[in-house]
Chain A
């Protein structure tokens, strides 16, 4: 009985590798299940055209989710990403004449980087809780977007700029290719680089990392900066795809992004998570949205189902961890 006070380490050591595999497979199984159900319900679902649509529609969330994953692995959080994406779009729309479309895009992305930098400054130097910081920034960025656009949706007509979302690389639409590249690059960065290692180390144990000489605050700052930057890039693609920038664009995406990341197994407490998981998480949410549209379920149901899927995934995970832990304790 008393043994389990000291011995879970040994039992855990044995079951852990298998266990982690199960976790990924569970997520994948959910995705496969969704795909199977949707394709049996709708003949259109598995067509190439639809799948491309599905992917293109998910790129905004996906691009941001790459960097939100990194940020959350380091124990951070960014609620301002969607507002920043909208702000970037508006900046592009309003400056396209003065700067030319590409100059405007560059300015828009620079603004998003600035937003990220301010977030980083507030969190690492002033030391305000990330939730509050980025919540305030959400308000500011969204408000600025409305102010700059005067509340209006502004068209962005430029054939070259539109190519950003309509162009193809071989059979793959450009935004999808960019997103995939970001995922692959991000995955490699998280696995093989100093920066990725820093994210896991800081999220896992910030104090120990600092005592090992890791410049904790610098890396956290960079993570917020990149998060803002990614929102800007996503904003550029969104604007290109819609031929317009609207201050209310991407409303609520911050929560969808977090849902996708958490669905993918990244912990809000930091230290754990992977881009593979996030990738599957994004696909699950995208497939759900798309499938329900095909089934002409009103978009209204999508939110409900998304919420249920999120809670089921996280909740089942908790239950499994709990019951397996209890089993392990009983066995010893």
Chain B
């Protein structure tokens, strides 16, 4: 890297507030043509806000953005695209029933007279595919491609529209290790085309393999920018975490009661394998894994939303068969899914209706709701969990904040009287204050005897609430820690596949 050159992109002192809360505090970032800059930080560190400002999705409150030394204004994604900035989101935008070549040239198909010039389409597609040394047939349909191939097509498309800066958000999240190798090869080829790449990932182990430099954010502040040679994964993890050690997690864990949930060699090949664990009465067990480690799918399988191929689930020592969420509920298992807006809440229904959604049997007589009981029970949970909303229990959940929405889902299972509660990324997209609140509620619930299994990619979260922590790597449990033994560095390493 030639550091005397002028950077392609400079973001200087970028600040951003949401509802008066600073999310970015004078963060700077520079990016040179032909380099891969890894942008790292924990959830909530401000990475995605920064990137969205670069893409014109959000407007900055302060600071300047320079491209080639010139001040630019990015009001909407179209502006960013005009400047050659291209985002590649985890959720890809493509037309599955069109060919690779057509997707590459979507909206700009070359013509000959009134017709599509298929030869030109083929040639142009081949040219760009070849630039990155990609061997995908241009005439294949997108839907027939593997995930990594679709992602690569998306990258090639960025190249085809003359992007100079490509931002990749967790591009390896859904990929198998072999596919990651392929992707990295493509990224190196992209570098050879002098394209600059901002690379966001939680998988620290892959950073040294692909990045030239790293920029680390923490709590909305710029912490460090260093060449990759100067850091190892351990140091990166330390910089991301900072010196702060969560005090709450240092309390000694209470002794776990008799096992309530027990998994024995639960397996679905390719997703999770050989998972055996127990969660005791009053115990909070955390499973930490990086995105794609299979822990999320495990939770869905335990709850019957997905299948498992072999293994056995026990509740209170009795084997249970769980083929659907109904079975799971009957067995006394509740599930707080990752995306509360899509999987958790019926947004247009009220808090009351959402809280009681899993307990119709007890709140109705001959199919008619016992309104007073329903209302009273809802109010009870609203008070106990401190759910706050403007209009009382008849407020539609759409209008609640993320933290309160999550509490509504939590309340649903408490109302249903479950013995085991499984939470998948319980504070995803929940702000910091509400997080602590939710953790406290969980601890209180455990103290009353609930068995809680928390699955998360957020290391702080796992550390601060769990009594016991397991790590998952590539679908298997890679290590187990007591609360006293666990530290961020050890968890990160175990989850990344290294020795604990």
* Any A–B CB pair closer than 8 Å: yes
Which A residues are closer than 8 A to B by beta carbons?
A: 1-2, 5-7, 9-10, 12-13, 16-17, 192-195, 197, 200-201, 204-205, 207-215, 271-272
Please determine whether A201 and B349 come into contact, CB atoms closer than 8 angstroms. yes
Q: Mark B343-357, 1 if CB is under 8 A from A, else 0.
A: 111111100010001
Q: Is the CB–CB distance between B353 and A201 below 8 Å?
A: yes
Pairwise interchain contact B342-A207, C-beta atoms closer than 8 A: yes
Question: Of all chain B residues, which has the CB nearest A6?
Answer: B18
Given contacts A194-B364, A197-B369, A201-B357, contact A211 B305 (CB under 8 A): yes
Q: Complex Cα distance A201/B61, Å?
A: 40
User: From residue 177 to 197 of chain B, which have CB atoms closer than 8 A to chain A?
Assistant: none
Inter-chain CA distance A195–B58, complex, in Å, is 43
Instruction: Let me know if B368 is at the binding interface, CB within 8 A.
Output: yes
B107 part of interface (Cβ distance < 8 Å) = no
Kindly state the separation between the CA atoms of A215 and B304 in the bound complex, as whole angstroms: 13
Q: What's the Cα separation between A12 and B367 when bound, in Å?
A: 33
Interface centre among A6, A197, A215 (most CB of B within 10 A): A197
Q: Is B395 an interface residue (CB 8 A)?
A: yes
Identify the B interface with A (CB < 8 A). 18-19, 58-59, 61, 303, 305, 325-326, 328-330, 335, 337, 342-349, 353, 357-358, 360, 364, 367-369, 371, 390-391, 395-396, 398-399, 412, 416
- Measured CB to CB, the nearest residue on chain A to B333 is A213
Q: Apart from A13-B391, A200-B346, A201-B349, list 10 A-B contacts with CB within 8 A.
A: A6-B18, A9-B399, A13-B390, A192-B371, A193-B367, A200-B353, A204-B349, A212-B325, A213-B358, A213-B416
Q: How far, in whole Å, are A194 and B361 apart by their CA atoms in the complex?
A: 9
Cα A213 to Cα B326 with chains together (Å): 4
Once bound together, how far apart are the Cα atoms of A7 and B337, in whole Å?
24
Given contacts A208-B346, A213-B326, contact A193 B368 (CB under 8 A): yes
A5 B369 Cβ-Cβ under 8 A: no
Assess whether B337 is in contact with A204, with CB atoms less than 8 Å apart: no
Which chain A residue has the least Cβ–Cβ distance from B345? A208
Contacting B346 at CB < 8 Å: which of A205, A213, A215? A205
Complex alpha-carbon distance, A16 and B61, angstroms: 30
Q: How far is the CB of B19 from chain A (nearest CB, A)?
A: 7
User: What are the 6 closest A-B residue pairs judged by CB atoms, nearest first?
Assistant: A204-B346, A213-B329, A2-B59, A212-B357, A13-B399, A205-B346
Residues of B within 8 A of A17 (CB): 391
In Å, the complex CA distance between A13 and B337 comes to 25
Q: Is the interface of A mostly helix, strand, loop or mixed?
A: helix
Contact status A205-B345, CB under 8 Å: yes
The minimal Cβ–Cβ distance linking B175 to chain A, given in whole angstroms, is 25
Q: Choose from A197, A207, A210 the contact partner of B360 (Cβ within 8 Å).
A: A197
Residues of A within 8 A of B346 (CB): 200-201, 204-205, 208-209, 271
Q: Is the CB of A204 within 8 A of B357?
A: no
Interface centre among B360, B364, B396 (most CB of A within 10 A): B360
Q: A193-B364, A197-B369, A200-B349 are in contact. Are A213 and B18 (CB under 8 A)?
A: no
Q: Bound complex: CA of A194 vs CA of B357, how far in Å? A: 10
Known A-B contacts A197-B369, A212-B412, A213-B326; the reply to A204 vs B348 at CB < 8 A is yes
A197 CB, nearest partner CB in chain B, Å: 7
Can you show 15 pairs from A to B with CB atoms below 8 A apart? A6-B19, A12-B398, A13-B390, A13-B391, A194-B369, A197-B353, A200-B346, A201-B346, A201-B349, A204-B346, A205-B342, A208-B344, A209-B346, A211-B344, A214-B357
Chain B residues closer than 8 Å to A211, beta-carbon distance: 303, 305, 325, 335, 337, 343-344
When distances are taken between beta carbons in the complex, the residues of chain A under 8 Å from B348 are: 200, 204, 271-272
Task: Return the chain B residue nearest A215 by Cβ.
Answer: B326
Query: Using Cβ atoms and an 8 Å threshold, which residues of chain B touch A13?
Result: 390-391, 395, 399
A215 to B358: give the CA distance in the assembly, Å: 11
Distance in angstroms from A8 CB to nearest chain B CB is 10
Which single member of B61, B343, B360, B395 contacts A208 (CB below 8 Å)?
B343
Flag if A194 contacts B326 (CB, 8 Å): no
Point out which of A1, A2, A192, A212 has the most chain B C-beta atoms below 10 A from its C-beta.
A212
Chain A residues within an 8 Å CB radius of B337? 211
Interchain CB contact under 8 A, B368 and A212: no
Q: When chains A and B are docked, how far (Å) is the Cα of A166 from the Cα of B368?
A: 34
Q: Which residues of A contact B342 (CB under 8 A)?
A: 205, 207-208
In the bound complex, residues from chain B placing their C-beta under 8 Å from that of A5 are: 58
State whether B326 touches A2 (Cβ < 8 A): no
On chain A, the residues within 8 Å of B368 by CB distance are: 192-194
CB distance from A239 to the nearest CB of B (A): 31
Contact assessment for A207 and B329 in the assembled complex, using a CB-CB cutoff below 8 Å? no
Q: Is the pair B367, A195 in contact by a Cβ cutoff of 8 Å?
A: yes
- Name which residue of chain B comes closest to A270, CB basis: B348
In the assembly, what is the distance between CA of A209 and CA of B390, in Å? 25
Q: Which chain B residue shows the least CB distance to A272? A: B348
- A9 and chain B: residue at smallest CB distance: B399
| Contact partners of B358 in chain A: CB under 8 A | 212-214
A1 — which chain B residues lie within 8 A by C-beta?
Answer: 59
CB distance from A41 to the nearest CB of B (A): 41
CA distance A244 to B497 in the complex (A): 78
| A267 to B, closest residue via Cβ | B348
Residues of B close to A12: CB separation below 8 A: 398-399
Query: Which residues of chain B are near A214, meaning CB under 8 Å?
Result: 357-358, 360
- Closest chain B residue to A205, Cβ basis: B346
A52 to B337: give the CA distance in the assembly, Å: 54
Min CB–CB distance B474 → chain A (angstroms)? 26
| Bound: A211/B327 CA distance, A | 11
In the complex, how many angstroms separate the beta carbon of B387 from the nearest chain A beta carbon? 15
Least CB distance, B282 to chain A, in whole angstroms: 24
Question: In the assembly, what is the distance between CA of A192 and CA of B369, in Å?
Answer: 6
Docked complex Cα distance between A195 and B367 (Å): 7
Instruction: Please report the C-alpha to C-alpha distance between residue A209 and residue B337 in the assembled complex, in whole angstroms.
Output: 12
B356 smallest CB distance to A (angstroms): 8
B328 contact set on A, CB distance < 8 A:
213
Bound complex: CA of A210 vs CA of B327, how far in Å? Answer: 11
Q: How far is the CB of B182 from chain A (nearest CB, A)?
A: 32
Question: Is B325 a contact of A210 with CB atoms below 8 Å?
Answer: yes
Q: What residues of chain B lie closer than 8 Å to A6, measured between beta carbons?
A: 18-19
In the assembled complex, the Cα of A17 lies from the Cα of B396 at a distance in Å of 11
B382 to chain A, nearest CB (A): 17
A9, A209, A213: the one within 8 Å of B398 (CB): A9
Known contacts A2-B59, A5-B58, A9-B398; A209/B367 CB under 8 A: no
Residues of chain B lying within 8 A (CB to CB) of residue A204: 346-349
Nearest CB in chain B: distance from A332 CB, A: 12
B343 neighbours in A (Cβ, 8 Å): 207-208, 211
Distance between Cα atoms of A7 and B18 in the complex (Å): 10
When C-beta atoms are compared, the residue in chain B nearest to A7 turns out to be: B19
Residues of B within 8 A of A9 (CB): 398-399
User: Which residues of chain B come closer than 8 Å to A192, judged between CB atoms?
Assistant: 368-369, 371
Bound CA–CA A2/B84 (angstroms): 23
Please pick, from B18, B335, B369, B412, the residue contacting A193 in the complex, using a CB distance under 8 A.
B369
For the complex formed, measure the closest distance between the CB of A25 and the CB atoms of chain B, giving whole angstroms: 20
Contacts of A208 in B (CB 8 A): 342-346, 357
What's the least CB distance linking B362 to chain A, in Å?
11
- When C-beta atoms are compared, the residue in chain B nearest to A218 turns out to be B326
| Docked pose: A200 CA to B337 CA in angstroms | 21
A200: chain B residues at CB < 8 Å are: 346, 348-349, 353
Docked pose: A272 CA to B371 CA in angstroms: 21
Interface centre among B59, B349, B358, B395 (most CB of A within 10 A): B349
